Structure 1
Amino acid sequence: MTRWKFFKEGDIVDVVAPGYPSQPHEVDGSRDFLLKWNLVPRIPKGLIKPHFLHANEDEARFEFLKNAIQSKDSSVIWCMRGGYGSNRLVPMLAKLKKPKEPKLLIGISDITSLHTFLTQEWGWSTLHAPLLDRLGRGLVASKFEKELHGILFGQETDVEFKKLKPLNDQARNIKLLKSRVVGGNLAVLQTTLGTPWQIDAKKSLLFLEDTGERGYRVDKMLEHMRQAGVFKQCHGLILGDFIGGNEPGSDQSKLKQVFKRWSEDLDLPIFQGLEAGHDVIQRPVPLNTSCVLSQKNGKVLLNIDTGGKA
């Protein structure tokens, strides 16, 4: 893995909008948040313009992303929001020469497309963590904002998750597993299948999360992954938050049954309870860094290296 640089006060943060647009007050809130951390927000003029789907035309969104990647005076790229649009930029991104110095990409949801490309093609370590517009709107509890600050500024060298629960015997039988975490949003990862940038989960723990997807759709996406060979040589599945997705006219979801079926059907350890995704708690998940999963007396610990360096 390639390590990113810990933040220092006064560092420039390149802000990009590869997916949906943000409203002017959300842009202002994002700027104010970075200033609160004594960082220098670089939000380019014209970053967001009227478009029927995205924050801007494909070529413009890519140009802003390319400039952020190639800028010599910054080492972090923070996404304004998710939505839809990042995967349209990946073919253009693939034509770029890999920079000599790695940068840290931060974002969730639609940004999974960029995480997957950067970790697999360029070997970078990235961070599945809250988007700027969410932080700017004060939607991240102070406890978790403090955790994120500690990770980015180097006070924390790993992220520890204590609430994982094994869903099958394969998971319950694990005592110690050294691996790395890849993945992100399930629906976005499905869009990588059959492309040159298909998610590679070999010798890795595959982290999955999603929002608003009904049980049958989650089942269908997992089946697509199985048929595409994603689960071959995978170390296991780590399920984050799956919110929404209730059946029509009901307050009930079929996700519990879906995950039960897959825990019985797949010859892989499956764990549930990673506090990451689209729910209220969005803890940072370092991608493409070393991790250790251990289990003792029924308690599961997952420690993930942040990927940062001084």
Structure 2
Amino acid sequence: MNRKHFLSSLLAAGATLPAIQSAASFIPQEAIQPPIIPPYLKKGDIIGITCPAGYIKKEEISDAIRIIESWGFIVRMGNTVGLKDGSFGGTDQQRAADFQAMMDNPEIKAILCARGGYGSARMIDQLNFENFRKRPKWIIGFSDITAIHSHVNSQFDIVSLHSKMCNSFPSDLRGSDAIMQDTINSIYQSLTGTKMQYKADNDPHNRIGKATAPVVGGNLSVLQSVSGTASEIDTNGKILFLEEVGEYLYNLDRMLGTLERSGKLSHLKGLILGGFNRIKPDDPGEEFGRNLYDIIFDRIKMYNYPVCFNFPVGHQRNNYALKSNAVHTLEVTSTGATLKE
């Protein structure tokens, strides 16, 4: 992308702790096989829309359909769009069947999840990925869809697309501001084969360095929830990106502690922190006493891989499309950070 994208800092200032030990070379570079990239899309290809997690009304995806069709693609709506079972887009069985049908249908070249919420992990064990493994296609979404990204990235080494979903498409893309236009257009560019590049403004807590590796990650609480399952994330020799929304500081500390104790932070090539937005205030008299910077560096102070804060990914307007599990180069300097394919 030509336009530089910067995310203003949302975090309170904190102390950076020194790095004293490296684990970035845990896996020899020559031992890493290139990930499998699904075929890029061309005009006339079909994108299926399904609801593996939360419920959404059919009219809520009309803006997304209009924009996707303007890109030259054909939209096929799944059976779960508009279906409701409590907060879910249908029962676990219905959501799994809809997702399975889209994976198995060779005419569908990409699967766009209509929204997040909760539910992907409830149905993922019902899926048979055999046809998907043989004929990979793009899976698109973020937040709760992190469970699916983590599964296909770690189990099959297939690249997927971490990006906004149908419920975040604007009603008037051309009339939207530059950030929204670039964010939505990054989905099209990623799906059609553009080598993406993103920039983040300098943060005083960044750790300078450079690394080239597959980028994996997503929503912190979802990654923690699939720990110990078949969908558990593989971070060895990878650049890890994390984002979160609406959590207490103590809970962020607990979840990051789980990642550290399970070895997910010790053999990284780099760490990217996206939006950690709408952090909940502490209860009066029970202040946690640490900010997000403190929490992060308490878990990674013994390693020396590059660290980038305030990257444009997460529950925010500038949530740019990121090819999860694709090889990228992260370069963090004194003036900012760049992530490029």
Structure 2 residue matching 1:13: 3-state secondary structure: strand
Task: Verify the 8 A CA contact 1:214 1:255 in the aligned structure 2.
Answer: no
Distance 2:65 2:58 in 1: 11
Q: Which residue pairs with 1:112 in the alignment?
A: 146
Q: Which residue pairs with 2:308 in the alignment?
A: 271
**Correspondence list, 1:1-310, <5 A:** 1-45=35-79, 47-93=81-127, 96=130, 98-135=132-169, 137=171, 141-154=180-193, 156-163=194-201, 165=203, 167=205, 171-172=207-208, 174=209, 176-247=210-281, 257-266=291-300, 267-268=302-303, 269=305, 270-296=307-333, 298-303=335-340, 305=341
1:251-309 C-alpha deviation (Å, 9 max, x unpaired): xx979723224324422333202101001111111111111122455443221x3xxxx
Q: Which runs of 5+ in 2 are unaligned?
A: 1-34
**Counterparts in 2 of 1:221 and 1:137: CA distance versus 1, 3 Å:** farther
TM-superposed CA distance for 1:243, in Å, is 0.7
**Counterparts in 2 of 1:44 and 1:90: CA distance versus 1, 3 Å:** closer
Task: Verify the 8 A CA contact 1:205 1:236 in the aligned structure 2.
Answer: yes
TM-superposed CA distance for 1:206, in Å, is 1.0
Q: Aligned residue pairs: how many? A: 297
> Which moves more between the two structures, 219-228 or 139-148?
139-148
Task: Verify the 8 A CA contact 1:293 1:301 in the aligned structure 2.
Answer: yes
Distance 1:166 1:244 in 2: 21
**Counterparts in 2 of 1:102 and 1:109: CA distance versus 1, 3 Å:** same
1:66-120 C-alpha deviation (Å, 9 max, x unpaired): 1111111121111100000000122112575553121011101000000001111
Distance 1:187 1:297 in 2: 30
TM-score by length of 2: 0.80
TM-score by length of 1: 0.87
Structure 2 residue matching 1:302: 3-state secondary structure: strand
RMSD between aligned alpha carbons? 2.4
**Counterparts in 2 of 1:217 and 1:295: CA distance versus 1, 3 Å:** closer
Structure 2 residue matching 1:208: 3-state secondary structure: strand
| Relative contact order higher in (CA < 8 Å, ≥ 6 apart) | 2
User: For residue 213 of structure 1, what is the amino acid of its counterpart?
Assistant: E
> Which moves more between the two structures, 31-40 or 189-198?
31-40
Distance 2:123 2:220 in 1: 19
**Percent identical residues:** 24
